[in-house]
Structure 1
Amino acid sequence: MNSTIQWITFAAALLFLIQVVYLTAKNKLHDKYAFIWIIFAIAGLFLSLSLPFLNDVSTKIGISYMPSLVFMFAFLVILIVLTYQTVLLSRHEKLIKQLVQEIGFLDNQLQESKRGSGK
């Protein structure tokens, strides 16, 4: 690691990894999701160490500005994560709707049984 940008990106990825581990230790981040974020943080550490290699790869595939390649991949990863989170949200909304309907049904049965026993 010889350039300043490598040190900055490495420090940012390391801080992100520490944050994920901290949130997981405090039970604010579920283990299933923490694993995904730890993988991203480790990938960030790896990428920060391989900036010259990324520069060569971007030049070989015809991208003259390496940060554009990194930005494109980051954008795609964010889209994938957002899609996954949307699927989870949709599933949870469906389950919440079913639970509300079941609670309403049980409340109705309770009210009917109270009226029936009161007569």
Structure 2
Amino acid sequence: MSDLLRWLLAAAGLVYTYFAMFMLIKKKLNELNTLVWLSSCFVIVVFSIFPELFDRLALAVGVAYPPSLLFLLSVLVLLLLTLHQSMQISKLQEKIRDLTQFLALQHAREHPGVQAEEERRKEPGAAE
């Protein structure tokens, strides 16, 4: 790997770090997700500055062609991130359902006449 490419990758990792921190400051990412992204930034910077570490890792694992190990690890990380995001979406959907039910019950308690009026309108033959 040329020195220019090495430094470009390191700079890209640092820019990536800046954007992750910026998103945290602007409250676009929560702390846990920011840690995940900052960890990936750290890995990018370290392996771009010291690519021989990744070659040694590939050799230790028994992979003959290091870019294939990089591809495999990238796919696995993306799958884990997708699973994590799916779990977060499921939790949020459950919270939305609970809040919707709570608000409906709260509205029914506060306005009992409105609910009776709406039910009367739905009955067949009710005068409009």
Q: TM-score range by the shorter chain?
A: 0.7 to 0.9
CA distance in 2, matches of 1:105, 1:73: 48
In the TM superposition, residue 76 of structure 1 has moved relative to its aligned partner by 0.8
So what's the TM-score if we normalise by structure 1? Answer: 0.81
Secondary structure (helix, strand or coil) at the match of 2:103 reads helix
CA distance in 2, matches of 1:66, 1:8: 20
Residue correspondence of structure 1 range 16-95 to structure 2 within 5 A: 16-59=16-59, 61-95=61-95
In the TM superposition, residue 113 of structure 1 has moved relative to its aligned partner by 6.0
Counting matched residue pairs gives 116
So what's the TM-score if we normalise by structure 2? Answer: 0.76
- Bigger shift: residues 80-89 or 47-56: 47-56
CA distance in 2, matches of 1:9, 1:107: 56
- Percent identity (aligned): 21
Q: Which structure 2 segments of 5+ residues have no match?
A: 116-128
CA distance in 1, matches of 2:6, 2:87: 36
- The higher radius of gyration belongs to 2
Q: Which structure 1 segments of 5+ residues have no match?
A: none
In the TM superposition, residue 114 of structure 1 has moved relative to its aligned partner by 6.9
